[in-house]
Structure 1
Amino acid sequence: MTKYSFYFIALLSFIVQSCAAAPLRKVSCKDPSVQYMGRIKHEDSSATFYWSGTSATMRFTGSTIAVDLRDEKGTNYYYGIVDDSVYTKIKADTIRQSYTIADHLKKGVMHKVQVFKLTEESAGKSWLYGFETDGSTISLLDKVRKKIEFYGNSITAGYSVDDTVRDTGLPEYFNNYYTYAAMTARHYDAEYYNISKSGVGLMLSWFPVIMPELYDRLDPLDSIHKWNFHSYVPDLVVIDLFQNDSWLITKVNHPQFKNRFGTTPPDSTYIVNAYKQFVTTIRNTYPDASIVCTLGSMDATKDGSPWPGYVRAAVCQLHDRKVYSHIFAYKNATGHPKRKDQQKMAESLIQFIDANVQW
């Protein structure tokens, strides 16, 4: 080997070492630069995500950003979003690991990363331990933002939003990010909380728990530990329920029908009063919030359905000037709303809010 060959190899080695990626700095889930939306259980080493639409956001100046996650079942999906653009879709594993969201970002400028849960509680819970970046985090005081909370069923949760062939409800086809609820919240740059579950009803669900028994939980599967309603007080609450009730009320042999009503279906007075009672519960929880009672866009709103009338009657009888009704147009197709359907719902709701709601 000549001395020139030696110098060349040494120079090449120096270049490789110089270009090697700098080790990523860990940012704890408890770091003040990490901000959360959704009902989350905060512990020393992790933040537990349950509900669809739950997210963690951080500002940083690095070129690389990753998230440290572990999943209960390996069936939860997340979006990794940088500067308000979706960069990657993450399938969380049951083994704790780091997932790169983006690299080769422009270094030295402020970026924003968000990890957004697409799937609902049926896919299990996840633990977020923090972020990893080669740059610095930036703690900024957010401007005062509107706050919106949604209570709903599969439509609001994001069931089959991305299943354009069938309507299976498999976790990979859940996408809360493209629900009317999340799109409406983004339109107003609002803090977003989503309390929704596929199959849930106000009087009847496809399982034993109904929304009036679920609405106040931190963990959807835990009836003991309740959510602290003082920690998040929305300016606007949107309720989209009754789709599952409209199906189950005719299934007199279904176990949940028998459990709730025996053999006699509830009449219209009972149905309207049940809705009024739930809205009253929300009103008592949030005395100053505006409340929009919606329904749709599945077959509970098709021509001839009595269910929109039940919602309107309940709202009318409450005599509350800050409670409104808004019925989504029937999408006139089988299955759950897809992205384009959810977009139409968002546009409809935004138009209604802008024209009618003071919040």
Structure 2
Amino acid sequence: MIFLNSSFRKYSLPLLLWCGAFLGGCAGSKSVSVSAQDERLAYMGRVGKPTAETTELYWSGTSVKLNFEGTGVQARLKDNTGNSYYNVILDGDSITVIQPDTVQKLYDLAAQLQPGKHTLELFKRTEWDKGTTTFYGLELAPNTKLLPAPAPPKRRIEFYGNSITAGYAVHDYSGKDSWRGLNTDNYVSYAALTARRFNADYTCICKSGIGITVSWEKDIMPELFNRLNPSDPASQYDFSRNPAPDIVVINLLQNDSWIINLPNNAEHKRRFGNARPSPETVAAAYQNFVKQIRAVYPNAHIIAALGNMDIVKSGSVWPALVQKAVEDLQDSKIHTLVMPYKNTPGHPRVEEQQAMANQLITFIEEKIQW
């Protein structure tokens, strides 16, 4: 059991299996099917709609929320890899985990509850490169009914980041810093924690290893940020048809700071050839990305954040580079936030993510009226 905070008292990690006993209880005409696009379901994040009856979940932190009255709910899911994990948050308190199979199946989200009203959220804890999940809808237990959708949040916050924002290896205290299994968990990332603190609609556009000028893999954030399906370069997100965030947080450059010093790295060679990019080149690229965000969100506050890994340790040139890039934009709604160096091996763990969230929350409360 891991304690997050007073609002989320219980955190357990048992894997929920396909529950045959529950299926038997829903046999015949007594069960009720609900489409994945039913208006009583509330989605957060960028969600695909490949058919009139299904949705696709790609990005870390994407979620579907529902209110219901009764004793049990199942979800019909299929993952293209079988490597995706989801948190199931019941009544804002207890959290369990499911791992959808590559074959379409029904999974218990809640079963054998006391009759009454309940809330439920299915939250994608893993990154998009680990799998895309197709959601075919819900099956409601006998005498269970879906209630109107939760009221939409009044605030909206969107994040662009790398492995830190993804919650990579956040539960791995073995020293291996591994993403495998249940180690990665966007739900306890500083980004998700901040969104929940403000009861804000949450979108997280992140990828471990990604940068602004160069990444450990092919895509860089300026090429990826406007996709609906991150795996498909032709899949474009329509910014004009969706509500704009009040705040956008950008926490990038950690990977750039390493790769630009590795001339033999394949992505370095592909992006820069044999020459190391100058600080001015990186600063210009950072500015251009911020301008891309400003172009699609003309009224949002933008927080240019750095931290909490070695990009912000003592002697690093990167905080000053970002500060100068932001100042040169002369935009009063673009802010700079440097989070302290955590000074521990590997990626930030749960308590370090919480510390980042605390700092970001305080910064927003003090600097931004929303």
TM-score (ref. length: structure 2): 0.89
Give the structure 2 partner of residue 47 of structure 1.
Answer: 55
Give the structure 2 partner of residue 330 of structure 1.
Answer: 341
Matched, 1:275 2:286: yes
Matched, 1:110 2:121: no
Matched, 1:307 2:309: no
In 2, Cα distance between equivalents of 1:358 and 1:264: 44
Contact 1:249 1:265 in 2 (8 A): yes
Match of 1:101 among 99, 103, 109: 109
Match of 1:32 among 22, 30, 39: 39
Give the structure 2 partner of residue 79 of structure 1.
Answer: 87
In 2, Cα distance between equivalents of 1:40 and 1:341: 29
Give the structure 2 partner of residue 156 of structure 1.
Answer: 165
Task: Please provide the CA RMSD for this pair.
Answer: 1.4
Contact 2:42 2:150 in 1 (8 A): no
Give the structure 1 partner of residue 360 of structure 2.
Answer: 349
Deviation at 1:34, TM superposition (A): 0.7
Give the structure 2 partner of residue 204 of structure 1.
Answer: 214
Matched, 1:175 2:185: yes
Deviation at 1:220, TM superposition (A): 1.0
Cα distance per residue 1:121-158 (max 9 Å; x no partner): 12110011112222111114615510001000011112
Give the structure 2 partner of residue 129 of structure 1.
Answer: 136
Q: 1:294 to 1:94 in 2, by over 3 A?
A: same
In 1, Cα distance between equivalents of 2:150 and 2:260: 49
Give the structure 2 partner of residue 291 of structure 1.
Answer: 302
Deviation at 1:304, TM superposition (A): 0.5
Give the structure 2 partner of residue 88 of structure 1.
Answer: 96
Matched, 1:219 2:226: no
Give the structure 2 partner of residue 57 of structure 1.
Answer: 65
In 2, Cα distance between equivalents of 1:144 and 1:210: 31
Equivalent positions of 1:230-249 (< 5 A) are: 230=240, 231-249=242-260
Deviation at 1:172, TM superposition (A): 2.4
Deviation at 1:195, TM superposition (A): 0.3
Deviates more, 1:64-73 or 1:347-356: 64-73
In 2, Cα distance between equivalents of 1:331 and 1:192: 25
Contact 1:87 1:102 in 2 (8 A): no
Deviation at 1:173, TM superposition (A): 1.2
In 2, Cα distance between equivalents of 1:229 and 1:258: 33
Q: 1:215 to 1:298 in 2, by over 3 A?
A: same
Contact 2:165 2:206 in 1 (8 A): yes
In 1, Cα distance between equivalents of 2:336 and 2:107: 43
Contact 1:119 1:171 in 2 (8 A): no
One-letter identity of the residue aligned with 2:60: S
SS of aligned partner of 2:107: strand
Deviates more, 1:44-53 or 1:79-88: 79-88
Give the structure 2 partner of residue 5 of structure 1.
Answer: none
Cα distance per residue 1:101-123 (max 9 Å; x no partner): 2223231x321111000100121
Contact 1:76 1:124 in 2 (8 A): yes
Give the structure 1 partner of residue 13 of structure 2.
Answer: none
Q: 1:143 to 1:197 in 2, by over 3 A?
A: closer
In 2, Cα distance between equivalents of 1:291 and 1:220: 22
Task: Structure 2 unaligned segments of length 5 or more: list them.
Answer: 1-23
Task: Structure 1 unaligned segments of length 5 or more: list them.
Answer: 1-19
Number of equivalences? 339
Contact 1:302 1:330 in 2 (8 A): yes
In 1, Cα distance between equivalents of 2:139 and 2:320: 51
One-letter identity of the residue aligned with 1:146: R
SS of aligned partner of 1:76: coil
Give the structure 2 partner of residue 7 of structure 1.
Answer: none
Deviation at 1:45, TM superposition (A): 2.5
SS of aligned partner of 1:173: coil
Cα distance per residue 1:171-211 (max 9 Å; x no partner): 42110000000000000000000000011000010112110
Q: 1:141 to 1:125 in 2, by over 3 A?
A: closer
Contact 1:123 1:171 in 2 (8 A): no
